[in-house]
């Protein structure tokens, strides 16, 4: 067994695709419109769905915004150069809400980015 994807509801699909693809460097893997249900699914990630977990961005056509809620934490991404990536993200207009640095109660170097819908993305420096 393996995790296939995590679904996030987004208010503006094009804005979210721009963030995840242009700012975060993911690729759009597939996109499907469902006119009968008035929604679109877009799958993005760093590799093929057959090999890695991806994000499913769900856009319900009649909903412009969602409350993130207090149960959701974050999506985590392992990165090679957290300092360089955070600089690139900021240069592309992304919101680095917690600059890279050591965890308060641990040794990992982390940073947080916030997507256009308010979802947190944790970046973790890989050893």
Residue 36, pLDDT score: 98
Identified catalytic residue from 51, 64, 88, 122: 122
Residue 88, pLDDT score: 98
What averages of pLDDT result for each successive group of 10 residues across the chain (127 residues)? 95 98 98 98 97 97 92 94 98 98 91 97 94
Domain 75-125 has CATH 3.10.180.10: yes
> CATH number for the 5-60 domain, one of 3.40.640.10, 3.10.180.10, 3.30.930.10, 3.40.50.80?
3.10.180.10
Residue 87, pLDDT score: 98
Task: Look at the block and give the residue holding tokens 């979802």.
Answer: 119
Q: How big is the CA angle at 16 (ends 11 and 6), to the nearest 5 degrees? A: 85
Bridge partners of 109?
102
Catalytic residue status for 51: no
Q: Where are the domains of the chain?
A: 5-60, 75-125
């Amino acid at each position: 067994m393996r995790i296939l994807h995590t679904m996030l509801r987004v208010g503006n699909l094009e804005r979210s695709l721009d963030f995840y693809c242009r700012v975060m460097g993911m690729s759009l893997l597939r996109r499907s419109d469902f006119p009968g249900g008035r929604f679109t699914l877009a799958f993005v990630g760093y590799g093929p769905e057959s090999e890695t977990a991806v994000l499913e961005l769900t856009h319900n056509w009649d909903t412009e915004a969602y409350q993130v809620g207090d149960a959701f934490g974050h999506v985590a991404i392992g990165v090679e150069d957290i300092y360089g990536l955070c600089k690139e993200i900021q240069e592309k207009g992304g919101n680095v809400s917690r600059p890279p640095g050591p965890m308060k109660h641990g040794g990992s170097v982390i940073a947080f980015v916030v997507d256009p819908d308010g979802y947190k993305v944790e970046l973790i420096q890989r050893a």
